Amino acid sequence: MRYARQEIFKEIGKKGQQKLRKSSVAVVGLGALGSNSAELLARAGIGKLILIDRDIVELSNLQRQRLFGENDVGKPKALAARERLSKISSDVKIKFFVDDLNFENIGKIFNLKNEKIGLILDCTDNLETRFLINDFSIKNEIQFIYSSAVESKGYLFNAIPGKTACLRCFLHEAAGLDTCDTVGVLNTITGLISSTQANEAIKILLNKNHEKNLLFFDIWKNELIKIKIEKNKSCICCAKHNFEYLSGKKSSRIIKLCGDSIFQIKAKNIDKKQFNELKNKLKKIGKVADFGHCINFENKLTIFSDGRTLVKAKNEKMAKSFYSKFVGN
C-alpha cells in the first residue's frame, strides 16, 4: 500500500518498484540538495541509502534544508538525516558517515568489495570533492548525478562512465566562485534541482531514458536551458585515466565550506583517549556541547573524533589562529 500510487504509474509498475527496493544510492553532501534528494528517494522506496556529510546543522540551514528542524541545530547532518529518514520510512536501510569524503576513505566508505553502489548523487559544495567523486566513479564505472545550486540558478548532469562526458570534460578548477555565503540561495531552486535529481536517479536505476544534456535552471527568470556536452577526447580523467584527486595529488588541508564563514581543517586521526582529553580541557575554559560524534566549543569550533575541525571565522588566517589556540598546531 505504501507505494501504490507510484506502482500504478506506467513507467514504474510493480516490477520497477521491486527493482528500486533492491537498489542502493550514495548521497554525498546533505545540505539543501542532498537532504531533499535523500528524502525523496527514501519515500520512493529505494532499498539502501548511504549518507555522507562532514558538516553540522546550522540555524541558517533551516531556510532550505527541510529535512532538519530547530532541535537538530549543532548535530552532524548525517546523523540528523538518518534519524529523520528512519522515522519517515522503516523500509529503507541507511548507513551514515559523519566524515569528510577524501581520497583516503572513499573506497572504505563505498566498500565495493561487498556491494556495488548503483548510483552516486553529488550534492557537495566544492570542486575538490566533486572531482574526487568524478575520479572514483570513472575508475569504478559507477554512474553519478552532479547537482549544484546557488542564488536562483542550478545545474544538473547525469554522468554515465563510458557513455557521457565526465565533470572534468567541462568543469575547470577555479577559485572565487559564487557561494551561498556571497550571493545567497533561494529555497525554491534547491527544491527544484533536488527533485529533478531524484527523478533522474529513479530513471537511471530503472534503466529508463534519462536526460543526456547538462540542465541549467534559473527559477527567478523561469528559464530552462539544455546544453549539449561532448566528451573531451583529451580529458585528463575519462580519456587519460589520470585520477589526480583519487590519488591525493590535489588534496587540501583547509577548505572553505558553503556555510556561515566556516572552514574545515584536517588533521591526523586522533584516538578516543586524545579526543576525551581535548573535550575535558575545553570544558574547563568554556561551554562544550557533546554530540557523541563531535563536540562544539563556544559555537566557534566543532571538533570531530576523526581529527577534523570546523572553525567559524571571518577568514582563513583567523580560522588557523583559533585552531592553533584551542586544538593545537
Residues 6+ apart with CB under 8 A from 206: 11, 12, 16, 19, 20
Is residue 213 a part of any domain in this protein? yes
Both 51 and 173 in one domain: the answer is yes
Which domain covers residue 305, as residue numbers?
261-326
Both 196 and 65 in one domain: the answer is yes
As given in the structure block, the three cell numbers for residue 265 are 581543517
Both 195 and 277 in one domain: the answer is no
Q: Pairing state of beta strands 254-256 and 24-28? A: unpaired
Please list the alpha-helical segments (H only) found in the chain.
4-7, 13-21, 32-44, 77-88, 106-110, 127-140, 167-170, 180-183, 187-205, 272-283, 316-326
Helices 77-88, 32-44: inter-axial angle, 10-degree rounding: 20
164-201 pLDDT per residue, tens: 999 999 987 654 456 666 578 899 999 999 999 999 99
List of the chain residues with pLDDT < 70? 112-115, 173-182, 258-260, 267-269, 329
Is residue 74 a part of any domain in this protein? yes
Is residue 243 a part of any domain in this protein? no
Is residue 248 a part of any domain in this protein? no
- CATH number where 21 lies: 3.40.50.720
Nearest CA to 160 out of 223, 205, 226 is that of 205
Q: Is the pTM of this model over 0.75?
A: yes
Domain boundary among 227, 253, 269: 227
Q: What is the pLDDT of residue 275?
A: 82
Both 155 and 302 in one domain: the answer is no
> Would you name the residues annotated as active-site residues?
180
Is residue 42 a part of any domain in this protein? yes
127-140 pLDDT per residue, tens: 888 999 999 999 99
Q: What is the pLDDT of residue 289?
A: 87
Is residue 246 a part of any domain in this protein? no
Q: What is the pLDDT of residue 263?
A: 86
Both 188 and 312 in one domain: the answer is no
What is the DSSP annotation of 136-187?
Answer: HHHHHT--EEEEEEEBTEEEEEEE-TTTS--HHHH----SS---HHHH-B-H
Both 61 and 169 in one domain: the answer is yes
Do 74 and 57 meet the contact criterion of CB atoms below 8 Å apart?
yes
Q: What is the pLDDT of residue 176?
A: 45
Place of cell 544534456: 213
Q: How many domains does the chain have?
A: 2
Is residue 237 a part of any domain in this protein? no
